[in-house]
Structure 1
């Protein structure tokens, strides 16, 4: 599962690592405690004048389908299960033609302990580079706003998840198995190129592709135990990712 994550990179650094482009108006809010319904960066590709162009945009975390009556449905759609996304009405059109990557510096997960308590961990790449989760996006037109209103269109996104590794898997995968039964799907550079390409229309095959490469990508992660302050979304500082013993 992915319910909180860290994205505090400067816009220029994100654009360079994603090998993307954007306009000068892009504004990213640094956050060490990103929660659903926040505005977050996404990476997508579009066909412009016959050329595939990779871009960074800002979207609301919690996917709102084009047919939704209001944006409140996005609160329940911040994650999409890879096993069912191609058939679910909320996600299936995005799987076909509106796929994206959600860049993160890491994410938080809470491990259930004997007795019912929970221990928070920060899951991130050991080399400090960004992780790009497989994601979906959608455009939704607000029926309460006039066509002339520049805010009538909402861009939203969802992170795709899959089953976690089985216990006994090698290295960090075994730690992930004990952490949660769901895993946000990380992508390698090559997998991300296939996932984003607007000419690749077989969504079910692409879901298999990102699932098949997820554990290799996750093998670069490390888990750091962090303080309980991450449980309150109002706490938002770099101190949240400082390991504790």
Structure 2
């Protein structure tokens, strides 16, 4: 995420604390901080807020933060039954805004990275969950995960077929209406919410585009704006 807080607030239609700090990043790795959008009831009124969370969900019962290393993604088909996620999906649902994401495609014996994004530069909002975890010093850690589903079929039209070639799983994107339903803390039928997420995901993803990028993205220590620029495999 490299957008300014003001832009994120506008696109998410949310509010942010004046002291909120977002570190620009073009190569986000699990366990690092990312922005999330959630809704909370404050004095009887629903407020959509932006917070910063550790990427990799840490449930309240965890003994330490290492649980989050294995929980940066959650399969939507099993999220209601997995101990790590089943509490959060009922009452702590979030949206994770991104400018795009990297995925690797195997071509022959090599893998080439691609950047998936909205062609107009608009943010993509993935369905996510959040949790609060308290450490031994009584400090609270906010963490998050991104929900995934099966990728589009290989014979899908347009960019959906390209997404199918990249990976067999797809992080679940939401439009504004779906996000409103997902974030609503009063919504209690999680099975219906999950079905609606999956039913709408391909319609959202159909507006994306992708291009090959520099394989330098494979090293998380590389973090600069040029990483998301087009880069032909013929150059390396």
TM range (shorter): over 0.9
Match in the other structure for 2:207: 220
Q: 2:71 aligns with which of 49, 72, 77?
A: 77
The 5 A counterparts of 1:20-59 are 20-59=14-53
1:188 counterpart residue number:
175
* Counterparts of 1:103 and 1:182, CA distance in 2: 18
Instruction: Find 1:203's aligned residue among 156, 180, 190.
Output: 190
Matched, 1:102 2:89: no
Q: TM-score, normalised by structure 1?
A: 0.93
Q: Which runs of 5+ in 2 are unaligned?
A: none
CA RMSD of aligned residues (A): 0.7
1:113, CA displacement in angstroms?
A: 2.0
Partner of 2:226: 239
- Give the secondary-structure state (helix, strand or coil) at the position aligned to 2:157: coil
CA offset digits 1:67-91 (Å, max 9, x no partner): 1011110000000000100110000
- Per the alignment, residue 4 of structure 1 pairs with none
**C-alpha distance in 1, partners of 2:108/2:231?**
20
Is 1:9 equivalent to 2:3 in the alignment? yes
Match of 1:125 among 118, 121, 125: 118
Displacement of 1:233 after TM fit? Answer: 0.3
Partner of 2:12: 18
CA distance in 2 between partners of 1:22 and 1:120 (Å)? 33
- Mapped partners of 1:231, 1:196: distance in 2: 32
Q: Distance in 2 between matches of 1:200 and 1:52?
A: 13
Runs of 4+ more than 4 Å apart: none
**Using the alignment, how far apart are the partners of 2:155 and 2:82 within structure 1?**
32
Q: How far apart are the structure 1 equivalents of 2:169 and 2:29?
A: 17
Partner Cα separation in structure 2 for residue 23 and residue 107 of structure 1? 26
Q: Aligned-pair distance for 1:21?
A: 0.4
Q: Does 1:68 align with 2:73?
A: no
Alignment size in residue pairs? 232
Q: 1:114 offset after TM fit, Å?
A: 2.1
Alignment partners' CA distance in 1, 2:87 and 2:196: 18
Does 1 or 2 have the higher relative contact order (CA < 8 Å, sep 6+)? 1
Task: Select the residue among 157, 162, 167 that pairs with 2:149.
Answer: 162
